[in-house]
């Protein structure tokens, strides 16, 4: 191929037609939503201890409870607690774990911001441990280095669709009596040694946001086998302070009145989505496998790693660029791919470098909760504390969003063609 053939130099783009946005919503979901609409009973929740009314009660309506029982069966857990978003689910889970002001909670910097800000919602302190560069999840070695006398929990994102090193993390948690909360927003139905992601730690949180494998527009589900944690999540979800007296709850820790309730329409959509979930996830895996096969022989690319006894459900198809082997920078290659029409990103996250953490300003303008008598620790958010995550973001990472577009086989072929076209011109790009 010649210089002029690369789109970045004025040649014809490999992909000229926009891909169709991914949407798992079909006629079944529409019919289910309309059926609920016709009842006029869109959210039968009551923010009080009442479970035997005509329209609903503390645990919500018919569809919410049906969806929760279906989730319990689907994921083989004792308790599922629906919420109006995975962000709400993380807040509920951290609160149910008894996290208090001034406590430290270890979390990944390589995740969506809510994994960390949910910690701040309880006036606790996020502590960022580094990631390992195979699955991009929390590195147990870094977790151990960041444990202090104030550490009370670990929030573990199973990023991009692959579970974290959960056995090692749970071993550390057991040693230090820490609660493990899995943020499985990107890894529904991913397997870890025979169990589903989200059912290995103490609590798992799933996302039903619109750009996930399945969705209800917005929504989330908390999973646990612990009945006490389940009850506390239900209370935090639904105005706990107004319920505890009649319900006979003695421990008032974190019983604050949130409204994180899922509606009947969303629950009815979720029920229909669950019927398709396995096939939708399988299709994402099939497309990722096709990408893997097509890109396998390109010099200087490292394709997604799947650990033994694990499955990857590919919310993102992550790629690492070895600039030394390729002889070309990640950003130059990325710009060439974007010019060819490839739907790809070249950064994900380094949360500790966000302005909120760099300035330690969250509540008000005076540095609370970091600068207060409540917090006794000395957390730092300096650049360099998470070198693996920082290097990935700055120099090595690229990713294709597998839940962004429908991706026909022909479109996957066009992405592979674009990569090969860029690689054939790598000497010119240098």
Question: In this structure, are residues 101 and 220 in contact, taking their beta carbons and an 8 Å threshold?
Answer: no
pLDDT tens-digit series, residues 346-396: 999 999 999 999 999 999 999 999 999 999 999 999 999 999 999 999 999
233 and 307 together in one domain = no
Question: In this structure, are residues 229 and 181 in contact, taking their beta carbons and an 8 Å threshold?
Answer: no
Point out the domain boundary residue: 273, 304, 332.
273
Radius of gyration of the chain (CA): 23
Whether 369 is in a domain gets the answer no
Whether 247 is in a domain gets the answer yes
Q: Calculate mean pLDDT across residues 282-292.
A: 98
Is 90 exceeded by the pLDDT of residue 343?
yes
CA distance 266 to 162: 26
Q: What is the 3-state secondary structure (H, E, C) of the chain?
A: CCHHHCHHHCCCCCCCCCCCECCCCCHHHHHHHHHHHHHCCCCCCCCCCCCCCCCCCCCCCHHHHHHHHHHHHHHCCCEEEEECCHHHHHHHHHHHCCCCCCCEEEECCCCCCHHHHHHHCCCCEEEECCECCCCCCECHHHHHHHCCCCEEEEEEECHHHCCCCHHHHHHHHHHHCCEEEEECCCCCCCEECCEECCCCCCEEEEECCCCCCCCCCCCEEEEECCHHHHHHHHHHHECHHHCHHHHCCCCCCCCCCCECCCCHHHHHHHHHHHHHHHHHHHHHHHHHHHHHHHHCCCCCEECCCCCCCECCCCCEEEEEECHHHHCCCHHHHHHHHHHCCCCCECCCCCHHHCHHHHHCCCECCCCECCCCCCCCCCCCCCCCCCHHHHHHHHHHEEEEECCCECCCHHHHHHHHHHHHHHHHCHHHHC
167 and 232 together in one domain = yes
318 and 207 together in one domain = no
Lowest mean pLDDT among 3-7, 52-56, 149-153, 155-159: 52-56
What is the predicted pLDDT for the residue at 416? 98
CA distance 46 to 58: 5
114 and 207 together in one domain = yes
What is the predicted pLDDT for the residue at 99? 98
108 and 220 together in one domain = yes
Whether 222 is in a domain gets the answer yes
What is the predicted pLDDT for the residue at 52? 67
State the helix-helix crossing angle for 409-424 and 264-295, rounded to 10 degrees. Answer: 40
49 and 125 together in one domain = yes
Q: What is the CATH number of the domain that holds 328?
A: 3.90.1150.10
162 and 174 together in one domain = yes
- Model-level pTM? 0.96
Q: Calculate mean pLDDT across residues 333-358.
A: 97
pLDDT tens-digit series, residues 49-84: 987 666 679 999 999 999 999 999 999 999 999 999
Whether 360 is in a domain gets the answer no
Task: Provide the token pair at 165.
Answer: 């090193």
195 and 209 together in one domain = yes
Point out the domain boundary residue: 273, 296, 316.
273
pLDDT tens-digit series, residues 200-247: 999 999 999 999 999 999 999 999 999 999 999 999 999 999 999 999
Is 50 exceeded by the pLDDT of residue 2?
no
Tell me whether strands 104-107 and 79-83 are parallel, antiparallel or unpaired. unpaired
Whether 137 is in a domain gets the answer yes
Total count of domains within the chain: 2
Q: What is the CATH number of the domain that holds 243?
A: 3.40.640.10
Lowest mean pLDDT among 31-40, 41-50, 140-149: 41-50
Is 90 exceeded by the pLDDT of residue 409?
yes
* Residue range of the domain that includes 56: 27-273
pLDDT tens-digit series, residues 253-281: 999 989 999 999 999 999 999 999 999 99
Q: Calculate mean pLDDT across residues 136-164.
A: 98
Whether 374 is in a domain gets the answer no
214 and 297 together in one domain = no
41 and 148 together in one domain = yes
139 and 266 together in one domain = yes
268 and 281 together in one domain = no
Is 90 exceeded by the pLDDT of residue 1?
no
Point out the domain boundary residue: 273, 304, 329.
273
Q: What is the mean pLDDT of the chain?
A: 96
Question: In this structure, are residues 154 and 169 in contact, taking their beta carbons and an 8 Å threshold?
Answer: yes
**Residues 6 or more apart from 187 whose CB is under 8 A from it?**
158, 159, 160, 161, 162, 163, 197, 198, 313, 315
Whether 380 is in a domain gets the answer no
What is the predicted pLDDT for the residue at 54? 65
Whether 364 is in a domain gets the answer no
């Amino acid at each position: 191929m010649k210089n002029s053939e690369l789109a970045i130099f004025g040649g014809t783009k490999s992909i000229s037609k926009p891909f169709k946005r991914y949407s798992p919503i079909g006629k079944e979901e529409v019919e289910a939503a309309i059926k609920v609409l016709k009842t006029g009973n869109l959210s039968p929740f009551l923010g009080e201890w009442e479970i035997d009314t005509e329209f609903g009660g503390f645990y919500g309506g018919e569809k919410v409870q049906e969806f929760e029982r279906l989730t319990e069966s689907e994921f083989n857990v004792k308790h599922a607690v629906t919420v109006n978003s995975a962000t709400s689910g993380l807040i509920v889970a951290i609160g149910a774990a008894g996290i208090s002001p001034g406590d430290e909670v270890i979390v990944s910097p390589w995740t969506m911001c809510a994994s960390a800000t949910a910690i701040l919602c309880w006036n606790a302190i996020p502590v960022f441990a580094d990631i390992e560069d195979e699955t991009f999840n929390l590195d147990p070695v870094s977790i151990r280095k960041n444990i202090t006398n104030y550490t009370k929990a670990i929030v573990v994102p199973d990023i991009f669709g692959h579970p974290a090193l959960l056995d090692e993390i749970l071993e550390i948690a057991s040693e230090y009596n820490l609660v493990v909360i899995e943020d499985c927003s990107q890894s529904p139905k991913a397997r870890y040694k025979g169990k589903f992601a989200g059912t290995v730690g103490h609590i798992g949180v799933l996302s039903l946001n619109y750009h996930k494998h399945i969705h209800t527009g917005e929504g989330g589900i908390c999973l646990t086998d612990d009945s006490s944690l389940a009850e506390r999540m239900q209370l935090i979800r639904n105005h706990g302070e107004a319920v505890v007296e009649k319900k006979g709850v003695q421990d008032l820790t974190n019983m604050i009145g949130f409204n994180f309730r899922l509606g009947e329409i969303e629950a009815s959509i979720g029920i229909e989505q669950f019927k398709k979930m396995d096939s939708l996830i399988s299709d994402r895996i099939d497309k990722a496998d096709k990408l893997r096969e097509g890109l396998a022989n390109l010099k200087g690319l490292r394709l997604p790693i799947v650990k033994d006894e694990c499955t990857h459900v590919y919310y993102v198809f992550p790629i690492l660029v070895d600039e030394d082997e390729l002889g070309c920078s990640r950003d130059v290659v990325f710009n060439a791919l974007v010019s060819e029409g490839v739907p790809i990103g070249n950064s994900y996250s380094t949360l500790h470098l966000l302005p909120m953490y760099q300035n330690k300003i969250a509540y008000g303008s005076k540095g609370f909760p970091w600068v207060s008598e409540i917090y006794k620790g000395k957390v730092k958010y300096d650049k360099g504390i998470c070198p693996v995550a920082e290097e990935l973001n700055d120099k090595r990472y690229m990713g294709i969003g597998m839940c962004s577009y429908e991706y026909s086989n022909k479109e996957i072929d066009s992405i592979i063609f674009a990569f090969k076209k860029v690689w054939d011109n790598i000497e010119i790009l240098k």
